[in-house]
Structure formats: structure tokens, C-alpha cells
């Protein structure tokens, strides 16, 4: 089949699975869960092995919450037969759309047991927030 480029068989593998197979799973993805608790939107992110005061940057702008983190982990093994050092570096970023009315001035964050929790206050929306739009025939 001249003129048709042969497709690499790994091009069809979904991105998350491909990264897992290549050993790049942890440094590439920031897993989160989002839920509503009262008038707060809660976002929890798995970030084990980091110092939240130095390694995490949380910003809110233009209706979006952005979580960025960097991991620098070092493991050294000294033995009679040699020396081995393993480094794991990586940065992750996740941007999450905020619900309408969320205020960037009312955001709090905490870190416990490897989980970052960000709370964004969302004012109560008035009931029946829908407006029916009539359709006019032209």
C-alpha cells in the first residue's frame, strides 16, 4: 500500500495506559476527586511524598482552580558491592473548572496523609435558575 503511512501499533493505546506501560504513570497524572459538600466544592488530590508548603502551587483565576505540584524524591542504597541511587522527579498540573458564582477570595487548602484538599465556597444558587427561551418561527 504505497502512499499510506504504516501506523505504529502503539498509537492506538489510550494515553493513560501507554504512560503506565512506559513507567511514566506517577509523574504524569494528578488524580483528583471532586464533590459538593454543603456550599463548598471540594477537590481532593493524591500527592504523597511532597512538602505542601514548598512543592504545591494553588491558584484560582478566570473560573478555574489550578493545582501544580513538583516531586523530588531520592533513594540511596550503599552496599559492599557498590552504590545505587534512584531519583524520581516530576511535576503535575491539573486545572478544574469551578461552578458559576465561585469566589476566588473564599478558597482554603489543607494537606494530610498525602492528600491535598482544596475547598472553594460556592454561593447558594437561587431555586429555579432556568429561564425558558421561546423559539420564534422565521
pLDDT score, position 138: 81
CA distance 108 to 100: 18
Q: How many domains does the chain have?
A: 1
Residue 73 covered by a domain: yes
Residue 132 covered by a domain: no
Q: What is the DSSP letter of 85?
A: E
Residue 41 covered by a domain: yes
Pick 84 or 135 by higher pLDDT.
135
Span 32-61, average pLDDT: 92
Residue 79 covered by a domain: yes
pLDDT score, position 90: 78
CA distance 46 to 26: 10
Residue 66 covered by a domain: yes
Span 4-24, average pLDDT: 51
CA distance 109 to 116: 7
Span 121-126, average pLDDT: 79
pLDDT digit string (tens) for 62-86? Answer: 899 999 998 776 666 677 777 776 6
Alpha-helical regions (H) of 22-122: 25-28, 52-55
Phi, psi dihedral angles at 16 (to 5 degrees): -60, -40
CA distance 56 to 114: 12
Query: Residue 82's domain spans which residues?
Result: 13-121
- Judged against a pLDDT cut of 80, whether residue 29 lies above it is answered with no
Residue 90 covered by a domain: yes
pTM here is 0.63
- Judged against a pLDDT cut of 60, whether residue 36 lies above it is answered with yes
CATH number of the structural domain spanning residue 28: 2.60.40.790
pLDDT digit string (tens) for 87-97? Answer: 666 788 899 99
Amino acid at each position: 500500500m504505497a502512499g499510506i503511512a504504516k501506523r505504529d501499533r502503539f498509537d492506538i493505546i489510550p494515553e493513560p495506559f501507554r504512560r503506565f506501560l512506559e513507567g511514566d504513570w506517577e509523574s504524569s497524572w494528578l488524580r483528583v476527586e471532586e464533590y459538593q459538600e454543603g456550599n463548598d466544592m471540594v477537590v481532593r488530590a493524591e500527592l504523597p511524598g511532597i512538602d505542601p508548603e514548598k512543592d504545591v502551587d494553588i491558584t484560582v483565576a478566570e473560573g478555574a482552580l489550578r493545582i501544580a505540584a513538583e516531586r523530588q524524591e531520592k533513594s540511596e542504597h550503599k552496599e559492599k558491592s557498590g552504590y545505587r541511587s534512584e531519583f524520581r522527579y516530576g511535576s503535575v498540573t491539573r486545572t478544574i473548572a469551578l461552578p458559576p458564582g465561585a469566589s476566588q477570595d473564599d478558597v482554603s487548602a489543607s494537606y494530610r496523609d498525602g492528600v491535598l484538599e482544596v475547598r472553594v465556597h460556592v454561593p447558594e444558587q437561587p431555586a429555579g435558575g432556568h429561564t425558558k427561551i421561546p423559539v420564534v418561527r422565521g
